[in-house]
């Protein structure tokens, strides 16, 4: 049932309209992208229906594993020689994603999508800042494309732990008016976190709206910083998910309702895109992450070293 | 007994009747695995199902437990949702209103902390009784604050809940039981004597998983309900035991069913209908696929009706 089958018949199951589908799609390519991987699959019906921020839920073959793996849509092509493809980016960190790193061209993938909510597009022409962490930047490329097509100014702010975990630097430069990079270790761009430079970047770019995607601690810090800067902010969240279609209630995020009460909303169907200012982060399990260690180069070197400095106790 | 030869699929009669609950086919949904229908109806018309068993409804709205609420385990998954639901009043106004537009028997699953909770939920369902085909009384949810209030662990409190609901609602009534007891037939007898039409077997079984690097339980609630193919043998065993003890009592069987063949296994053990749970998470079309697959499987072997399969396990 969830096993990708080798068959020549591409299968599409679902209804007409903008509803999600289940497709058995042929893999066009699987590529290494720095520390990450990307897979492109032929799924014209999904490509046609997909909007930036939405995700696909992919069946994987992991020993004794059952559940699909959700991935934000990185980009789709609707026209041109590679028309009808859907692409997603992933990090190999478990048996399911390890299996995906070994999938070959022409093998078949069982995909459900597009799922979840899309990033809302502003009704006024305002400069947009897209802030991504790690491979969470992937859906922001899809968003940048749509915003650019609609005539918006798009700037990007991309952060990761190290240089090799910055996804697709060239594409980020190509698609935006400006792009700023940060790394935790200073190996690329500015040393620090995206939120350390957010205020300056937003001022330089005259940013009026912020979009974010990345690890939850980063999204919390981003939402809180945007709150301080009074910048509207939309974030695509990630939470452990079993079904991806809104029936299992595992992937909930606390959202503050208009009356002030906190409601647990499903990130697979009410989200993954939420207004960052409406997420009740204090009621979530997510912290803003540990502060970066001080830069070792800046730590003053003592003139005389003691036994304790050299050998420990 | 089946004919020795294949029959045309249209000659297979899939309809079943469970103590007044009439279904056009024996496939339904396991409570908590299908919400109240609209989410899966985006994929196909859920009126194709034999019935829908909705996610459990409580008297008051509940926001449920903190995350993580789920952990994948070998051939299964653990969940601890904590009965998140909109409460009976909002469920009637919104979810049942939507279901009324479908030609589909609605089985409402109800849950509560006390016998009075169950009684009050049942009372509030009385005005919409005609829109309901049956009630499933969830007395076995493992994700509650206190194991002592899992009614289905003991016969007496189980019977008390069933009696309270049966007095309020004149509908076929199924008690959902847990396999986590030393003698499930004792509980089944008690609920039937208290007024249950039948039983639903099985709820998830209590489990736990630990992240060995952080040494933390994988679920925020520490323990949770295990579901998926991992528990199917437990479902088959439990259904078999209860059917043998109470052969006249209809059983809605569930636990790890993914395919038509899995459904047949539960029917042979003694189920009268089969609910699909975790498989909906893996494939939104799971129920539809099992219905079609069951018809084909039966036709190929000459089975004309579901009754030809029920409880027909050939014992040594």
* Shortest distance, CA A250 to any CA of chain B (angstroms): 5
B15, pLDDT greater than 90: yes
Q: Can you tell me which residue has the tokens 């190999």?
A: A92
Here the ipTM equals: 0.94
Token digits of residue A200: 């300056």
Residue B218, pLDDT > 90, answer: yes
Closest to B7 (Cα-Cα) out of B314, B305, B312, B310: B305
Strand ranges inside chain B, DSSP E: 16-18, 21-23, 27-29, 52-53, 70-73, 76-79, 106-110, 134-138, 173-177, 198-201, 205-208, 210-211, 216-217, 223-227, 251-254, 273-276
B141 assigned to active site = yes
Give the pLDDT confidence score for residue A5 in this predicted structure.
Answer: 40
**Residue A271 to residue A92: CA distance in whole angstroms:** 24
Torsion from C-alpha of A95, A100, A106, A107, nearest 10 degrees? 20
Question: What gap in Å lies between CA A220 and CA A234, rounded to an integer?
Answer: 11
CB atoms within 10 A of CB A83: 13
Q: How far is CA A150 from CA A124, A145, B113, in A?
A: 11, 9, 53
- Region B36-64 average pLDDT: 97
Residues 216-255 of A with CB under 8 A from B: 239-253
Tokens of B231: 């528990």
In a mutational test of the B interface, the residue from A256, A264, A283 whose CB has the highest number of chain B CBs within 10 Å is A264
Output the pLDDT for position B96.
98
Chain B residues near residue A250 by CB distance under 8 angstroms: 67-70, 79, 81
Q: Residue B153 has what pLDDT? A: 87
| C-beta separation of A164 from A35 below 8 A | yes
- C-alpha to C-alpha distance for B13 and B28, rounded to whole angstroms: 16
Measure the CA–CA gap between A228 and A235, rounded to whole angstroms: 16
**Cα–Cα distances in angstroms (integers) from residue B38 to residues A19, A113, B98, B254, B271, in the given order:** 12, 16, 8, 22, 27
pLDDT exceeds cutoff 90 at B266: yes
Is the pLDDT assigned to residue A79 strictly greater than 80? no
Mean pLDDT computed over B204-212: 96
Residue A56 has pLDDT above 80, yes or no: yes
Contact B285 A249 (CB under 8 A): no
- HSE toward the beta carbon, residue A174, CA cutoff 13 A: 6
Angle at B89 between CA B128 and CA B125, to 5 degrees: 30
pLDDT tier at A305 (50, 70, 90 boundaries)?
A: confident
Pairing mode, if any, of strands A252-256 and A262-266?
antiparallel
Query: For the residues A140-156, what does the mean pLDDT come to?
Result: 97
A 8-37 → B contacts, CB under 8 A: 13-15, 19-22
Output the CA angle A72-A77-A83, nearest 5 degrees.
Answer: 135
As a whole-number percent, the residues of chain B with pLDDT over 70 amount to 97
Task: Nearest by CB to A242, from B34, B44, B281: name it.
Answer: B281
In B242-281, the residues whose Cβ lies within 8 Å of chain A are: 258-259, 278-281
């Amino acid at each position: 049932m969830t096993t990708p089958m080798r068959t020549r018949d591409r299968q599409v199951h679902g209804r007409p309209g903008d509803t999600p589908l289940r497709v058995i799609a042929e893999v066009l390519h699987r590529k290494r992208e720095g520390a990450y991987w990307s897979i492109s699959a032929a799924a014209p019906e999904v490509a046609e229906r997909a909007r930036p921020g939405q995700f696909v839920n992919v069946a994987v073959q992991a020993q004794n594993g059952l559940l699909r793996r959700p991935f934000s849509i990185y980009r789709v092509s609707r026209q041109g020689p590679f028309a009808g493809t859907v692409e997603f980016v992933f990090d190999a960190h478990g048996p399911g994603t390890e299996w995906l790193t070994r999938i070959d061209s022409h093998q078949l993938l069982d995909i459900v999508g597009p799922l979840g909510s899309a990033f809302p597009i502003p009704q006024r022409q305002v400069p947009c800042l897209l802030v991504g962490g790690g491979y969470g930047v992937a859906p922001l490329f899809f968003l940048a494309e749509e915003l650019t097509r609609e005539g918006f100014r798009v700037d990007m702010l991309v952060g990761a732990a190290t240089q090799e975990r910055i996804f697709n630097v060239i594409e980020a430069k190509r698609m935006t008016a400006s792009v700023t990079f940060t790394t935790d270790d200073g190996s690329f761009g500015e040393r620090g976190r995206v939120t350390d430079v957010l205020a300056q970047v937003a001022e330089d770019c005259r940013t009026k709206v912020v979009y974010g995607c990345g690890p939850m601690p980063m999204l919390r810090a981003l939402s809180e910083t945007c709150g301080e800067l009074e910048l509207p902010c939309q974030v695509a969240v990630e939470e452990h998910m079993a079904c991806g279609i809104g029936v299992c209630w595992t992937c909930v995020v606390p959202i503050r309702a208009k009356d002030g009460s906190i409601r647990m909303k499903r990130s697979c169907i009410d989200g993954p895109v939420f207004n960052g200012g409406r997420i009740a982060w204090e009621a979530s399990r997510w912290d803003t992450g540990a502060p970066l260690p001080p830069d070792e180069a800046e730590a003053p070197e003592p003139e005389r070293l003691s036994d304790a400095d050299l050998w420990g106790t | 007994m089946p004919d020795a030869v294949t029959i045309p699929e249209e000659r297979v009669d899939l309809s079943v009747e469970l103590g007044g609950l009439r279904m056009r086919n024996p496939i339904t949904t396991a409570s908590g695995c299908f919400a109240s229908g609209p989410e899966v109806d985006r994929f196909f018309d859920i009126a194709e199902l034999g019935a829908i068993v909705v996610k459990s409804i409580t008297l008051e709205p509940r926001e449920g437990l903190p995350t993580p609420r789920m952990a994948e385990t070998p051939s299964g998954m653990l969940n601890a949702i904590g009965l998140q639901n909109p409460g009976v009043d909002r469920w009637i106004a919104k979810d049942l209103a939507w279901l009324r537009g479908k030609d589909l028997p609605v089985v409402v699953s109800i849950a509560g902390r006390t016998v009075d909770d169950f009684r009050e939920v049942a009372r509030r369902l009385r005005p919409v009784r005609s829109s309901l085909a049956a009630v499933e009384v969830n007395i076995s949810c493992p994700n509650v604050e206190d194991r002592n209030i899992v009614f289905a662990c003991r016969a007496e409190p189980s019977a008390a809940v069933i009696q309270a609901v049966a007095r309020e609602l004149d509908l076929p009534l199924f008690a959902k039981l847990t396999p986590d007891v030393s003698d499930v037939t004792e509980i089944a007898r008690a609920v039937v004597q208290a007024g249950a039409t039948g039983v639903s077997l099985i709820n998830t079984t209590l489990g736990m998983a630990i992240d060995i690097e952080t040494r933390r339980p994988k679920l925020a609630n520490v323990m949770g309900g295990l579901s998926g193919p991992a528990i199917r043998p437990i479902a088959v065993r439990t259904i078999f035991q209860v059917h043998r003890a109470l052969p006249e009592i209809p059983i809605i069987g569930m636990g790890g069913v993914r395919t038509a063949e899995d459904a047949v296994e539960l029917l042979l053990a003694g189920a009268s209908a089969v609910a699909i749970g975790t498989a909906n998470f893996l494939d939104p079309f799971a129920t539809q696929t099992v219905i079609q697959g069951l018809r084909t499987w039966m036709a190929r072997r000459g089975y004309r009706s579901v009754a030809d399969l029920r409880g027909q396990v050939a014992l040594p």
